[in-house]
Chains A and B, each alone.
Chain A
């Protein structure tokens, strides 16, 4: 704001003042709207620290009493402490990230750079499967995994990730590899590197932005995922955080609201940290791919 651009210096003072007035008006309007949008989140944060009986009687966001009671009680609300569910969520999330990075990058490199007969067909299949609703696959998958006796383990959640079934990320990486200059591959080939060495030493390091985007979105999606864990994880000791929250909702009582808020808030903390750290990549990722 302090420095004037060339355009502002040249134009006469009156429009500048008018422009400034309009921009103040615009900022005021936007800030009010932001406050309105964010209010529910702020209310949730504050409520988590309020004594339970005050949450639903005082709609304001300035608490009269602060307490950590909700967190202490909520942490032990189910027959296992929440630390178990956080560890479970972390296992599933990190496993999914590893799986997607491994399988999608291998697939994308083959589809983007290697010449083979079925290439176009495979790429078309990948594109089509982005649109396939998961519900049409989930019943046979469930039967398959339950016959292998894998219900209440993390394998049904992780195996698909290691088999490049998140087609969106394959597509994202293919598009990214296509923007890399082919000369680099050729140079590696001439130096005697085969496809594997070229992939590992040349293409993979250059793919970093696409790998970061994949990591971020796999993290957020897996951490928030509810449907798949709900189906496969039915014993408390293997619950991920969202499934644990769901079973807290089922046993909700009036005094339980505070605990619910406290645990809900904690469940969002890893995502908020990720958002703060990786914001730049995140915004770029959505802008280029349309991911949520």
Chain B
């Protein structure tokens, strides 16, 4: 009898929680439905249509995807984005890790250096910094003025298709502060005993680094890699400002998201833009899944 009443009490308690949960989750459920789920499937549908927002969408099957195959701008944007991701993310993480290691070993003034290096990350995605970059790498910009001092005459870095993308890679590397802060937090998690034990076993600084620091830091490296890769795929603001929205010169800064924007919101070719967006999503999902698969071979988790 006691257990039955206790059961009943637990049940009414759970019912009450279930009802409350539905009230608490009203905003989330509405948002999931209206802002995420319906738009997700709507854009999947639009990807197979021709749609200019004024006339109703017209089903065209795989036409949008076939169009991509012969679309030079599409391939240019894929190339630009891949080069950017593959070059800037490892460089950025390399700087982040190096500086974190230098700052970690009980250095005085840590807080000052951490803030100074973090500041660019905080500002890096703003329009203001993209404008600054235009002036730094422009014809009469800071870089060329500096080069002139040592007698080199530089051309505009932004007008040259060979160097325009490099300026944006530099901008991304410049924001190494945020992964650095995460590395610093990770380094602090490594117990001192492990270093002590390694020293007792006769390991020098280098072997301590390769046998203690690096293995224990691999989960953090992996985390940063995933985060920065997904972010780099979606770079938009900097490319838009640097090129005045064109992706030029000669498509050299035509980032993928900029191309989606041009097709969707400048040309109002929303069917094609939806198809492009879905390709991006699938690409990001595949790259992330590959990262997870490969991570088994290099990421070290304490329990295995």
B27 touches A139 (CB 8 A): no
Q: Which residues of B contact A264 (CB under 8 A)?
A: 127-129, 131-132
Selected from A26, A43, A122, A245, the residue in CB contact (under 8 A) with B28 is A122
Stretch of B66-74, B196-204, B206-214, B225-233 that contacts chain A: B225-233
| CA A250 to CA B246, docked complex, whole Å | 11
| CA A115 to CA B15, docked complex, whole Å | 9
- B237 close to chain A: CB less than 8 A: yes
Q: How distant is A151 from chain B, measured CB to nearest CB, in Å?
A: 11
- A41 close to chain B: CB less than 8 A: yes
A137 touches B117 (CB 8 A): no
A246 touches B178 (CB 8 A): no
Selected from B31, B115, B274, B281, the residue in CB contact (under 8 A) with A133 is B281
B122 touches A220 (CB 8 A): yes
Selected from B43, B132, B184, B223, the residue in CB contact (under 8 A) with A137 is B43
- B86 close to chain A: CB less than 8 A: no
- A21 close to chain B: CB less than 8 A: no
B17 touches A114 (CB 8 A): yes
Q: Which residues of A contact B241 (CB under 8 A)?
A: 246, 249
B142 touches A40 (CB 8 A): yes
A34 touches B117 (CB 8 A): yes
Stretch of B18-26, B75-83, B158-166, B296-304 that contacts chain A: B18-26
Interface string of A39-81 (1 = CB under 8 A from B): 0110110010000000111110000000000000000000000
A139 touches B270 (CB 8 A): yes
- B50 close to chain A: CB less than 8 A: no
B42 touches A140 (CB 8 A): yes
A286 touches B178 (CB 8 A): yes
Known: A106-B25, A140-B46. A287 touches B20 (CB 8 A): no
Residue of B35, B136, B231, B233 ringed by the most chain A CB atoms within 10 A: B35
Q: Which residues of A contact B230 (CB under 8 A)?
A: 131, 133
| CA A115 to CA B14, docked complex, whole Å | 7
A162 touches B39 (CB 8 A): no
Q: How distant is B133 from chain A, measured CB to nearest CB, in Å?
A: 8
Q: How distant is A125 from chain B, measured CB to nearest CB, in Å?
A: 7
Known: A136-B278, A140-B38. A226 touches B127 (CB 8 A): yes
| CA A138 to CA B236, docked complex, whole Å | 14
Known: A133-B281, A137-B43, A194-B16. A110 touches B125 (CB 8 A): no
A43 touches B24 (CB 8 A): no
Q: Which residues of B contact A257 (CB under 8 A)?
A: 135
| CA A220 to CA B129, docked complex, whole Å | 14
Q: How many B residues touch the partner, as a band?
A: 35 or more
| A residues 111-150 touching B (CB-CB < 8 Å) | 114-117, 119, 122, 125-126, 129, 131-144, 146
* Number of A residues, CB within 8 Å of B: 90
Selected from A34, A40, A110, A114, the residue in CB contact (under 8 A) with B136 is A40
A160 touches B127 (CB 8 A): no
Residue of B24, B114, B120, B184 ringed by the most chain A CB atoms within 10 A: B24
| A residues 9-47 touching B (CB-CB < 8 Å) | 23, 26-27, 30, 34, 37-38, 40-41, 43-44, 47
- B194 close to chain A: CB less than 8 A: no
A37 touches B120 (CB 8 A): yes
Q: How distant is B58 from chain A, measured CB to nearest CB, in Å?
A: 15
Known: A260-B131, A267-B126, A292-B121. A133 touches B25 (CB 8 A): no
Q: Which residues of B contact A226 (CB under 8 A)?
A: 126-127, 236-237, 240
A135 touches B122 (CB 8 A): no
Known: A125-B32, A163-B28, A279-B115. A268 touches B234 (CB 8 A): no
| 6 shortest interchain CB distances as A-B pairs | A163-B31, A287-B185, A59-B145, A264-B128, A195-B20, A140-B39
With A34-B116, A287-B184, A292-B125 already in contact, 18 other A-B pairs whose C-beta atoms are closer than 8 Å: A34-B113, A56-B135, A106-B28, A115-B18, A116-B21, A131-B284, A134-B234, A136-B39, A139-B273, A140-B42, A163-B27, A257-B135, A264-B131, A282-B118, A283-B114, A287-B185, A290-B223, A292-B121
Sampled A-B contacts (30; CB under 8 Å): A27-B107, A37-B117, A40-B142, A41-B123, A56-B135, A56-B145, A59-B142, A106-B24, A115-B21, A131-B284, A133-B277, A137-B35, A137-B36, A138-B264, A141-B35, A142-B264, A160-B31, A226-B126, A226-B237, A227-B237, A241-B127, A242-B127, A246-B240, A249-B241, A261-B132, A268-B126, A271-B122, A290-B178, A290-B227, A291-B178
B residues adjacent to A (C-beta < 8 A):
13-14, 16-18, 20-25, 27-28, 30-32, 34-36, 38-40, 42-43, 46, 53, 102-103, 107-109, 113-123, 125-129, 131-136, 138, 140-142, 145-146, 149, 174-175, 178, 181-182, 184-185, 223-224, 227, 230-231, 233-234, 236-237, 240-241, 244, 257, 260-261, 264-265, 270, 273-274, 277-278, 280-281, 284-285, 288
A residues adjacent to B (C-beta < 8 A):
1, 23, 26-27, 30, 34, 37-38, 40-41, 43-44, 47, 55-59, 102-103, 106-107, 109-110, 114-117, 119, 122, 125-126, 129, 131-144, 146, 159-160, 162-165, 170, 189, 194-196, 199, 220, 224, 226-227, 230-231, 241-242, 245-246, 249-250, 257, 260-261, 264-265, 267-268, 271, 275, 279, 282-283, 286-288, 290-292
